Structure 1
Amino acid sequence: MKKNVVAVAGAMLILGGSLAGYADAGQAAEPKAKVLRMNMHSNPPTVDPGIAEDSTSGTISRAIFEGLTRLGKDGKVHVAAAESYTVSADGKTYTFKIRPAKWSNGDPVTAYDFEYAWKRALSPRTASNYAYQLYYLKGAEAYNKGTGTASDVGVKAVDAKTLVVELTNPTPFFTELTAFYTYYPVNKKVVEADKEWASNPKTIVGNGPFQIETWKPKHQLVLTKNQNYWDKQNVKLDKIDFSMIDDGYVELEMFRNGDLDWAGAPLSEVPMDFELSWKSPALFHTQAIAGTYFYRFNTEQAPFHNAKIRKAFAYALDRQALVETMLANHLPATGFVPPSMAVASGGYFTDNHTEEAKKLLQEGMKEAGIAKLPPITVSYNTSMGHKAIAEEIRDQWKKKLGVDVKLENKEWKVYIEDVHQGKYQIARAGWLADFNDPINFLEMFKDKNGGNNDTGWEHPKYKELLNQSALEQDPEKRKAILAKAEQILMDEMPIMPIYYYAQSWLQSEKVDGAILDGLGMIDFKYVDIKP
């Protein structure tokens, strides 16, 4: 049945391509629509920017919404929904002027939309796992944790065109944050009229370059150019047509047949054996990005409540062999913070240290009063890549530690919900930077109940160091503080770093202007299709 569904999807793409731009005899031919055809391996769990937390949801949110700022073609921050801004002398107050613009339904975009959206994301009722991204605002953390009120949060629409933001501490990267989707506005009227507004194309209203025309979950998602977008003259694409096929080899075959213009990152994966053998540099692209692939340990379940047992599993892994075998262009990770923002030179532990791993396992089991390890399960979401990596790690742990490991595959939405609820022992994870600063990685594990922690781990000294870093204005001193914090993270090992990301994809030569930034994100605003 799955093959039939895939075949039909491919046929639909072929048919759509053959009809585009066709005109009846005797009529002037209309310009051929510029359509980018891509595949995404998983259906976006949401396109609500206030609760989006995965790369697929984030990519679609970036296409249909826009923040106060946006990363440009040059990789630098530029004004977007804001036409200008000023910063106070102490670096703690930002005043944004909102440019004249409309929502996709014709409503005006105002400063009130931003105030509403930010406070909505922080509201405990919204339960946004990314709410902590707004903690730089004065009073934001207290409100999110139920000890403060919305009126205490440092964001205020003075009038329809003026937004004043007060920060707890000077935050040099704040305008990078305002380009991130948790900081996007939402239309209050639309949101409050229907709690399911973000799941129906008819009620999804955005202020970005595109809008959703069709959304058939697990089958197809189509974006069209937003004719109400303030900068529509610089948007070249008329449409983006996403298929949703989770088989990388089928996706690859569709690309080879001309049914897709793009295959691979950032919304899917090029099959690893293909990636290693590809010989066409004109079509094959790869670049290092600020991201880390790792495994979480559930520190509230035996046996991983013991730090030595966690470290034993981490130390037993031969990351270099893993990378050389199946992960071309990636780098083995012996720390959590990726090289683009590293706070310490070299790693925090030795890769493939089998004897030390065996010793730590024996000591940890003795401390925990465990004579024999319970069954160990590694969970991952559906992907050939995740499966292959899990199989290699399972085999290494069996060979080096004598541990039997079961692999558990789950559909993405079920998987991420189970991880949030602690229904796992070891779970695969990946973190791509939201902005290029180490705090974006380290703050994830500051609080046990933080939105994306999910390990059950918390450490008072670690928290203290992160708090110190927020007050330190000297860059080198701040870096040293963060290095101490990362050392604690690696000593306690609630997570096991595996490799630093590089993204690979195949891109048709007719696709122009596509930019994947250093964080691994694509902005469709600048993409064009050449004849």
Structure 2
Amino acid sequence: MCLLALAAAACSPDAPEGAKLSVVVIGDSEQPEGLAQRLVAEAVQPGLVARDEAGQTVAGLASSWRFVDDGRSLILRLRPAQWSNGETLVARDVVAAFRRAGSRRDPVLVMAGIVGSEAVTAKRAPASKLGVSAPIARVVELRLESPSPLLLGWLAEPALGLVSDKADVSLARYRVGGTAERRVLQRKSMAASPAARPAQISVATSPDLRAAIAGFMRGEANLVFGDGLAGLGEVRASVRPEMLQVDPLWGIYGYVANGLRGPVADPAIRRALAMAVDRGRLAAAMGIGAIVAADGLLPPLLAGGAVLEEGDWRRLGAAARVAEARRLLAGAGWTLDQPLRLVLLLPPGREHRSIAERVADDWAQVGVLLAVTEVSAVERDKLLARGDFDLAVTEASVPVPDSAALLMRWRCGAGAYCNPEADTMLAAARRAPAAGRAPMLAAVEARMMTAPPMIPLITPVQWTLVGRNVDGWVPNAGASHPLARLTVGVRRR
């Protein structure tokens, strides 16, 4: 007799153990690096290290590891595993996979701090110069530019998953089918395991929030993810509080500024824009504990209470900030009578528009008029790549609590911003011993904020509707929720 907990699976003895997990991601299926793509990649691109239900690093294809050479080298031992064509996983397969990541210029290699990664991803050196080697068949060695307590977190990223260069050959526990709008993952093994519990996982992408909420309430979807802040207000008004989970992310929500051309290329104007926002009022209006005010490039939990240098505008009180913002704008020729007019690229979503309206009210008090243009994520990326913008909403975050990774977004050549002095300081901080890195990174952030690359506002979040029959969901900072580790059981009332 079939158990109710397995009602979604067939009762045949040949049916795979475990139920079906149905997931909807609110977003654009054409966005190449969206949340839906990441959720699928986590299940089908297994790495040396994995993440569990709470977002903690656990053994993956590596059964054990140890740091040597004062933390500058990591030795990993592979567990017995076979590719889908029957060949045994060996260390040289890992070397080949990492070199392919270098050839495709994957930034995760640089974030991890692997020797040679910057030169390889910048095409200044061949992938063979990457600090990854295979001393013996089941042992991999990673050499690091400097000791990194965050290395394991980066190794758990799908971008460093072990993917074969041969078609239809993989180490994944799931095979993938379906369309770009709805990916279907079918577990290969008949028996469930801690890292592959559901027999089938479907991940659909939809721009229709109301339809997704309705389907969730009817039990057609077990999880509904918001790929960003948009939709949070409507979801809060539509479902019972216990169904909604809101996780804080390691990042900053704010407005990227075009630091290379146009009116906001003037650092004084960017400082004035940053000064004039009442972030406390903005965060309070959101009414979410996970959303807090942020006036720098690092979220408060990563800023570590760094002491601000003399002259940093963030040491000023609210009234003094407004007065200084008016002075800076007046020096550039903009006043309340002759205001500066700027256009903000805004994603769809009432939440983004509400934030923009509050920011616009603050800026109007110092001589800046803000207009908004709503664009899709794909169109926004195109406009940013062309440099055809004044300001644009960003919710960018990193999956690891890595201050250096957040600051590296603003290096010269990465976008419409360049501060060579800050780049030099950042490179020195990344080479420094781990114990002394925090104050050096705080100094980098302070230097960048003298000519800010963005207008920081609040901390970003990820919201999710979680069905009552989903077991294994653990809220965590960084919003790590590997779908394959969840269980679908009896629907609880």
* TM bin (shorter chain): 0.7 to 0.9
In the aligned structure 1, how far is the partner of 2:400 from the partner of 2:389?
29
Which residue of the partner structure matches residue 133 of structure 1?
111
Aligned 1:70-85 pairs, distance under 5 A: 70-73=50-53, 75-85=55-65
Give secondary structure in 2 for the equivalent of 1:168.
Answer: coil
Which residue of the partner structure matches residue 486 of structure 1?
445
Aligned partner (choices 144, 152, 174) of residue 121 of structure 2: 144
Q: Deviations over 1:267-293 (max 9, x none)?
A: 785431542x57834323334343321
Is the alpha carbon distance of 1:440 and 1:62 closer, same or farther for their aligned partners in structure 2, counting shifts above 3 Å? same
Q: Given residue 406 of structure 2, which amino acid in structure 1 is its aligned partner?
A: F
Which residue of the partner structure matches residue 325 of structure 1?
285
**1:314 counterpart = 2:274:** yes
More RCO (CA 8 Å, sep 6+): 2
In the aligned structure 2, how far is the partner of 1:400 from the partner of 1:206?
58
Q: Deviations over 1:10-32 (max 9, x none)?
A: xxxxxxxxx95577xxx899789
Query: Unpaired segments of 5 or more residues in structure 2?
Result: 1-6
Cα offset for 1:90?
Answer: 2.2
Aligned partner (choices 113, 121, 139) of residue 101 of structure 2: 121
CA contact (8 A) 1:20 1:32 kept: no
Q: Given residue 154 of structure 1, which amino acid in structure 2 is its aligned partner?
A: G
Is the alpha carbon distance of 1:436 and 1:66 closer, same or farther for their aligned partners in structure 2, counting shifts above 3 Å? same
Aligned partner (choices 194, 207, 213) of residue 177 of structure 2: 213
In the aligned structure 2, how far is the partner of 1:265 from the partner of 1:102?
36
Aligned 1:183-198 pairs, distance under 5 A: 183-190=160-167
Cα offset for 1:163?
Answer: 1.9
Cα offset for 1:178?
Answer: 0.8
Aligned partner (choices 25, 28, 36) of residue 21 of structure 2: 36
In the aligned structure 2, how far is the partner of 1:416 from the partner of 1:212?
27
**1:380 counterpart = 2:358:** no
Cα offset for 1:513?
Answer: 0.5
Aligned partner (choices 81, 96, 114) of residue 76 of structure 2: 96
Give secondary structure in 1 for the equivalent of 2:437.
Answer: helix
Cα offset for 1:303?
Answer: 0.8
Is the alpha carbon distance of 1:413 and 1:516 closer, same or farther for their aligned partners in structure 2, counting shifts above 3 Å? farther
Give secondary structure in 1 for the equivalent of 2:477.
Answer: coil
In the aligned structure 2, how far is the partner of 1:148 from the partner of 1:427?
34
Cα offset for 1:512?
Answer: 0.4
Cα offset for 1:474?
Answer: 5.9
CA contact (8 A) 1:137 1:167 kept: yes
In the aligned structure 2, how far is the partner of 1:117 from the partner of 1:228?
28
Q: Given residue 70 of structure 1, which amino acid in structure 2 is its aligned partner?
A: A
In the aligned structure 1, how far is the partner of 2:234 from the partner of 2:382?
31
Which residue of the partner structure matches residue 428 of structure 1?
393
Instruction: Please report the TM-score for the alignment, with normalisation by the length of structure 1.
Output: 0.79
Q: Given residue 20 of structure 2, which amino acid in structure 1 is its aligned partner?
A: V
Cα offset for 1:508?
Answer: 1.4
CA contact (8 A) 1:69 1:179 kept: yes
Cα offset for 1:527?
Answer: 0.3
Cα offset for 1:343?
Answer: 3.1
Aligned 1:196-235 pairs, distance under 5 A: 206-215=170-179, 217=180, 219-227=181-189, 232=193, 234-235=195-196
Which residue of the partner structure matches residue 9 of structure 1?
none
Give secondary structure in 2 for the equivalent of 1:300.
Answer: coil
Give secondary structure in 1 for the equivalent of 2:252.
Answer: strand
CA contact (8 A) 2:62 2:77 kept: yes
In the aligned structure 2, how far is the partner of 1:238 from the partner of 1:471?
45
Which residue of the partner structure matches residue 6 of structure 1?
none
Cα offset for 1:299?
Answer: 0.5
In the aligned structure 2, how far is the partner of 1:133 from the partner of 1:259?
39
Which residue of the partner structure matches residue 521 of structure 1?
480
Instruction: Please report the TM-score for the alignment, with normalisation by the length of structure 2.
Output: 0.85
Aligned partner (choices 232, 240, 247) of residue 208 of structure 2: 247
Cα offset for 1:66?
Answer: 1.4
Q: Deviations over 1:439-487 (max 9, x none)?
A: 1212222x2113xxx2322231x22322332343262x32221111111
Aligned partner (choices 478, 483, 499) of residue 458 of structure 2: 499
CA contact (8 A) 1:36 1:240 kept: yes
In the aligned structure 1, how far is the partner of 2:317 from the partner of 2:24?
35
Is the alpha carbon distance of 1:250 and 1:77 closer, same or farther for their aligned partners in structure 2, counting shifts above 3 Å? same
**1:443 counterpart = 2:374:** no
Q: Given residue 458 of structure 1, which amino acid in structure 2 is its aligned partner?
A: N
CA contact (8 A) 1:104 1:211 kept: no
Aligned partner (choices 319, 322, 325) of residue 354 of structure 1: 322
* C-alpha RMSD of the superposition: 3.2
Give secondary structure in 1 for the equivalent of 2:41.
Answer: helix
In the aligned structure 2, how far is the partner of 1:261 from the partner of 1:333?
33
Query: Unpaired segments of 5 or more residues in structure 1?
Result: 1-18, 47-51, 191-202
- With 59-68 and 258-267 compared, the bigger mean Cα shift is at 258-267
Is the alpha carbon distance of 1:244 and 1:465 closer, same or farther for their aligned partners in structure 2, counting shifts above 3 Å? same
Give secondary structure in 2 for the equivalent of 1:189.
Answer: coil
CA contact (8 A) 1:381 1:412 kept: yes
In the aligned structure 2, how far is the partner of 1:470 from the partner of 1:228?
46
Which residue of the partner structure matches residue 331 of structure 2?
363
Is the alpha carbon distance of 1:32 and 1:437 closer, same or farther for their aligned partners in structure 2, counting shifts above 3 Å? closer
In the aligned structure 1, how far is the partner of 2:8 from the partner of 2:396?
39
Q: Given residue 361 of structure 1, which amino acid in structure 2 is its aligned partner?
A: L
In the aligned structure 2, how far is the partner of 1:410 from the partner of 1:208?
36
Give secondary structure in 1 for the equivalent of 2:26.
Answer: coil
In the aligned structure 2, how far is the partner of 1:272 from the partner of 1:245?
18
